[in-house]
Chain A
Amino acid sequence: MTDKARNVVLRTEQLKTFYILDAFGCEKVVKAVNGVDLEILGNEVYSIAGESGCGKTTLLKALYAAVEPPLRVMEGKVFYARKGDELDVYALSKEQKRRLRWDHISYVPQGSMSVLNPVARLRNSYRDFLESHSDGKTRKDFLRIARRHLDELGLPSKVLNAYPHQLSGGMRQRVTIALAALLGPRIMIADEPTTALDVVVQRGVIQLLKGIQETLQNTIIMVTHDMGVHANVADRIGIMYAGKMIEEAIADRIFGQPLHPYTQYLINSLPRFGDKTMRQSAPGSPPSLADLPDGCPFHPRCPQVMQRCREEMPRMKTMPGKHRVACWLVEGGVNERIA
């Protein structure tokens, strides 16, 4: 299987990004992304699940090449596939990276307010955007493009005349997503796009994201902690735990036959309508990224822990059905019966 055939649009190799904090001489190393290998394909929704503080937001920042101190890339590479070439993102110059942004890859950060200029009407934000990425168009052209773009997405174009604070949270989030899709990027990265939104509004936002993905046939990489959202939009899901990717498969398999004990806890503890049987959550708490245990980071909480888990971190192993999992149980064949 060649990369071309599988149409990989974004790839990482043993990516490690750590926060190096120094507060009055007490240095702390937070291993937020600790050796992640990803291959994200064209025309798919890849969503990343994990608990708060597992490094998922940091991973997105690293994928977008928005790494700023105290965050540092310690090891590994990120590649974008663009027009048949593979670009090593961290080898690019600032200007080259800037040109890729919004055009090839765009980013919707957590809390949409930070993208929109709070003291400018939205049409000015849209114009600034278009101006910096396309040449030789007049003011009228910009406005027309923006209107048409919003119409296509089913958003009222009168929002262009509003200031960000005049819109409801859901509308603001949708406008931000629309803005990120304006130049038809091949990859869109969204960090918790529905957090803090009400369920009905959340549904609207997801509807919009899905719609954009279907029209542009591009790739969406999304982070959310809501397993329901994952089930609803994701083609493939990656489960992150303590800075590592521990399982990855298509949505059906993650929800239907999770292999990693952590994923099993995550899925089995979800409350379901019409079922009031007792649900158990994983014992203990996630480890601090500044103070990781040896071996597999889940071993202190794992009910099926073995001696090997305490000493060595298992590699990602590909199971049938492109189901990847990093667990000694699978490696040793114990969990095969579930698979």
Chain B
Amino acid sequence: MRVLRDLFKDYRFALSFLVLWFLLIMAVLSAFSPYDPLIWFHGPPNLKPSVTYFLGTSAKGQDIFWQATYAVRNSLIISVIAGAVSRVFAVLVGMIAGYRGRGTDRVLMFFTDTLLVMPLFLIIVMLALLVRERMTLVNLGLLLAFFGWAWDARVIRSQILSLREREFTKTAVLSGTGTLKLVLKEYLPFATPLIFSTLINNMAWAIGMEMTLAILGLTDINIPTLGTMLHWAISKQALFLGQWNWLLTPVVLSVLLFIALYWLSVSISEYLDPRTRVQRVGGK
């Protein structure tokens, strides 16, 4: 709990934490939605906000507020799957390549670099076209995870490379510590801020990517996400009809989400940074 207390002293953390809580509560609220998000015209179309329809209704006759709760939930699910799965790849590849060096490093970095130089966006678009029918939330998350780890693996590897040259590595070796223990116990604490900040950045990237694909109509547009909400709002001319509430809802929510994730990543990585940590450890 001391950790949280310390973190809350940073206004960026406090603000982004509140915003994320707000979005999370929205996502949870989706479970109590009176409407099925897949059914159209459960109400009259194109209503302005009112007491019955908190944020009005869309051209499809769906309640925008409840639709948005689903959208936030689904977007978060995609980003968490993409972020978490790609972290596993990035950490494993980065740490093993960094510590083992030589041949292992060369082979692993060959794959990483191959992934890095490929025109990711085009390939994702092409793959999305191929499997559009089966593009569930999980599949989309996994697809993004597969393409999202390469750069971070390189970042983690370079940090391990520099840690390997530090003297305490030799102390650990002279203390008889084996490779796996050494990497986990000595290096992981240094890599955590990196893993955290890349996780959050990767989540933001996944949300953005999903939105791009959805606006282009390359995902299952019936599943409500922040991206598909935008897709419908744009394709049903929300702007011309003066349905600003329909268009602005996903825009405002995604902007909030991006800013909150960014501040969270900056604040947490500053907190976990070994240099400031050492200061706090000594300071009491």
Contacts and interface: CB of A to CB of B under 8 A. Distances in A.
Interface in A13-62: 21, 23-26, 28
A29 to B, nearest CB: 11
Interface string B259-284: 00000000000010000100110011
Interface in B1-50: 6-7, 9-10
Contacts of B284: 26
A24 B281 CA distance: 12
Contact of B9 (A21, A24, A28): A24
Interface in B201-245: none
B272 to A, nearest CB: 11
A25 B267 CA distance: 13
A28 B6 contact: no
**Interface size classification for chain A:** under 10
B40 to A, nearest CB: 50
B6 A25 contact: yes
Contacts of A23: 276, 279-280, 283
A64 to B, nearest CB: 26
Contacts of A26: 6, 280, 283-284
Nearest to B9: A25
Contacts of B283: 23, 26, 28, 290
Contacts of A24: 6-7, 9-10, 271, 276, 280
Contacts of B271: 24
A320 to B, nearest CB: 43
Nearest to B273: A23
Contacts of B9: 24-25
Nearest to A21: B279
Interface in A100-118: none
Contacts of B280: 23-24, 26
A28 B6 CA distance: 15
B19 to A, nearest CB: 20
B34 to A, nearest CB: 44
Contacts of B7: 24
A27 to B, nearest CB: 9
Contacts of A28: 279, 283
Nearest to B267: A24
A25 B276 CA distance: 12
Nearest to B5: A25
A21 to B, nearest CB: 7
B217 to A, nearest CB: 46
Nearest to A25: B9
B11 to A, nearest CB: 12
Nearest to B7: A24
B184 to A, nearest CB: 26
A26 to B, nearest CB: 5
Interface in A241-286: none
A23 B37 CA distance: 47
Interface in A120-143: none
A40 to B, nearest CB: 34
Contacts of B6: 24-26
Contacts of A21: 279
A250 to B, nearest CB: 39
Contacts of B276: 23-24
A290 B282 CA distance: 10
Interface in B23-82: none
A23 B279 CA distance: 8
A23 B9 CA distance: 10
| Most B Cβ at <10 Å: residue of A21, A23, A24, A25 | A24
A103 B271 CA distance: 43
Contacts of A290: 283
A28 B278 CA distance: 13
Given A26-B6, A28-B279, 7 more contacts: A21-B279, A23-B276, A23-B279, A23-B283, A24-B9, A24-B276, A26-B283
21 contacts: A21-B279, A23-B276, A23-B279, A23-B280, A23-B283, A24-B6, A24-B7, A24-B9, A24-B10, A24-B271, A24-B276, A24-B280, A25-B6, A25-B9, A26-B6, A26-B280, A26-B283, A26-B284, A28-B279, A28-B283, A290-B283
Interface of B: 6-7, 9-10, 271, 276, 279-280, 283-284
- The 6 A-B residue pairs whose C-beta atoms are closest, nearest first, are A25-B9, A24-B6, A23-B279, A23-B276, A26-B283, A28-B283
